[in-house]
């Protein structure tokens, strides 16, 4: 693997969100400040939107990694393509409460009793909803209704909503007026600029022990930004492939031409074969209403699963190439010795 080749302690550009690699760009610092402000208020809704891969989930995990566990009980939900009742089940489950076979009234009663128990312990409950752009208006209204759980002087549940830019359209629709009145802060997380993207790359490398090997010239950093547009996830995807290429070709420094070569490879790999994109047969489509809790939990491969699959594939490719390199470097007549190794 390229980690050992470059003397790195771990993989610096993994796809899954990891607060250990949190980089405080100007936008990320402001978004984190909004989350911290909301947390200090202890009520209402905080809304953070951003493009795909902008780092919203990393923000949340960084926040959850620093909240005082003796003061706040937090639940984090990432599967949101559910109807209102299944979303309620997901909320109840996220707080560790039983949900199977319960009616909506029973679910609400269990949740309210749990929130009051948390309050009696001198703690607060925080609900974090990721991928909020998948919530329909009825589901958002269901979440708003949960904010009605209150004591005489404080709210029993606070909610953070994080989603892609289209969630802003949902939030500003005419039916969302009551929710908007309970939003105490909202922030849109944009991409990093070129200078921040360079600092982001160097930060992630330095986090795993990078000391300048490999090097990246100015043209390389310009090409990285041109491809990623300052989006962290796109930067991670590109840089992981760049370092793999560097290992296979035994490079100690990268130029703009090297980065552009990897970009071309990625572009070629993601070109759709002819015949794809045809409409799905009606017989294969899910019937309306088939969105139970288990279906929501299965929806789409998670980033973590995708990252693990790519790592296994990468290991297989590297193993084969290492064997081929060894064979190519073996002097004639030494094949028997190689077989015995």
Lowest average pLDDT, out of 14-23, 234-243, 291-300, goes to 291-300
pLDDT tens across 214-270, in order? 999 999 999 999 999 999 999 999 999 999 999 999 999 999 999 999 999 998 887
- Determine the average pLDDT of the residues in 153-170: 92
pLDDT digits (tens, 9 = 90+) for 88-97: 999 999 999 9
What are the tens digits of pLDDT across the range 108-117?
999 999 999 9
Q: Does residue 3 register a pLDDT over 90?
A: yes
Q: In this predicted structure, what is the pLDDT of residue 69? A: 84
Q: Sheet containing 72-77: give its strands across.
A: 72-77, 124-129, 157-163, 45-50, 183-189
Rounded to whole angstroms, how far apart are CA atoms 181 and 171? 11
Instruction: For residue 196, report the phi and psi dihedrals to the nearest 5 degrees.
Output: -70, -35
**% of the chain at pLDDT higher than 90:** 56
The answer, yes or no, to whether residue 208 has pLDDT greater than 90, is: yes
Q: Pairing relation of β-strands 183-189 and 215-216?
A: unpaired
Domains of the chain: 26-189 (3.40.50.300), 192-269 (1.10.8)
185-198 tens-digit pLDDT? 999 999 999 999 99
Outline where the chain has alpha helix (H). Answer: 2-5, 26-41, 56-64, 84-94, 104-120, 137-146, 166-171, 177-180, 194-207, 218-228, 232-248, 256-269, 293-298, 303-329, 335-340
User: Which has the closest alpha carbon to 91: 145, 47, 51, 40?
Assistant: 145
Q: Rounded to an integer, what distance in angstroms lies between the CA atom of residue 328 and that of residue 326?
A: 5
Q: Residue 134 in contact with residue 170, Cβ under 8 Å?
A: no
The predicted pLDDT at position 45 comes to 94
What's the pLDDT band for 175 if we cut at 50, 70, 90? confident
Q: Helix 84-94 vs helix 137-146: angle between axes, to the nearest 10 degrees?
A: 40
Q: What is the dihedral of CA 238, 77, 119, 115, to 10 degrees?
A: 180
Q: How confident is the model at residue 299 (pLDDT cuts 50, 70, 90)?
A: very low
Tokens linked to 88: 């309620």
Query: What's the pLDDT at 152?
Result: 86
What's the predicted TM-score (pTM) here? 0.75
Please state the length of the chain: 341
Is 313 a residue whose pLDDT tops 80?
no
3-state secondary structure of 341: coil
pLDDT in the model for residue 222:
98
Mean of per-residue pLDDT scores for the chain: 84
The pLDDT score that the predictor gives to residue 85 is 85
The residue that leads in pLDDT, 311 or 300, is: 311
pLDDT of residue 262: 96
CA distances from 246 to 5, 13, 95, 198 (A): 9, 14, 45, 18
Residue in this structure with the two tokens 């360079």, named with its chain if needed: 198
- Burial class from Cβ neighbours inside 10 Å (0-12, 13-18, 19+) for residue 162 reads buried
pLDDT at 16: 85
Q: How confident is the model at residue 280 (pLDDT cuts 50, 70, 90)?
A: low
pLDDT in tens, 40-89: 888 899 999 999 999 998 888 888 888 888 899 999 998 777 788 888 99
For residues 225 and 205, give the distance between their C-alpha atoms in angstroms, rounded to a whole number.
16
How many whole angstroms separate alpha carbon 233 and alpha carbon 250?
25
CA distance 87 to 110: 15
Q: What is the pLDDT of residue 304?
A: 54
Residue 337 has pLDDT above 60, yes or no: no
């Amino acid at each position: 693997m390229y980690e050992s080749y470059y003397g790195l302690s771990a993989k610096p550009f993994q796809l899954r969100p990891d607060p250990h690699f949190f980089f405080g760009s100007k936008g990320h610092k402001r978004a984190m400040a909004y989350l911290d402000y909301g947390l200090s208020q202890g009520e209402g809704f905080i809304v953070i939107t951003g493009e795909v891969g902008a780092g919203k989930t990393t923000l949340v995990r960084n926040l959850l990694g620093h909240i005082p566990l003796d003061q706040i009980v937090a639940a984090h939900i990432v599967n949101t393509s559910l109807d209102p009742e299944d979303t309620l089940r997901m909320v109840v489950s996220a707080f560790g409460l039983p949900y199977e076979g319960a009616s909506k009234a029973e679910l609400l009663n269990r949740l309210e009793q749990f929130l009051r128990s948390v309050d009696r312990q001198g703690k607060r409950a925080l609900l974090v909803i990721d991928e909020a752009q998948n919530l329909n208006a009825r589901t958002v209204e269901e979440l708003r209704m949960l904010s009605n759980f209150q004591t005489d002087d404080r709210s029993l549940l606070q909610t953070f909503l994080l989603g892609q830019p289209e969630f802003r359209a949902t939030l500003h629709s005419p039916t969302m007026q009551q929710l908007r009145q309970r939003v105490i802060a909202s922030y849109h997380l944009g991409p990093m600029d070129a200078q921040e993207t360079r600092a982001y790359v160097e930060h992630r490398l330095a986090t795993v022990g990078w000391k300048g090997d490999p090097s990246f010239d100015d043209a390389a950093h310009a090409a990285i930004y041109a491809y990623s547009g300052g989006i962290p996830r796109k930067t991670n995807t590109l840089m992981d492939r760049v370092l793999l290429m560097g290992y296979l070709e035994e490079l100690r420094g990268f130029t703009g031409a090297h980065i552009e070569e990897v970009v071309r490879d990625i572009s070629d790999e993601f070109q759709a074969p002819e015949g794809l994109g045809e409409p799905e047969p009606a017989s294969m489509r899910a019937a309306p209403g088939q969105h139970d809790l288990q279906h929501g939990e299965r929806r789409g491969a998670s980033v973590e699963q995708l990252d693990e699959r790519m790592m296994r594939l990468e290991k297989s490719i590297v193993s084969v190439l290492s064997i081929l390199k060894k064979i190519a470097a073996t002097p004639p007549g030494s094949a028997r010795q190689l077989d015995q190794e």
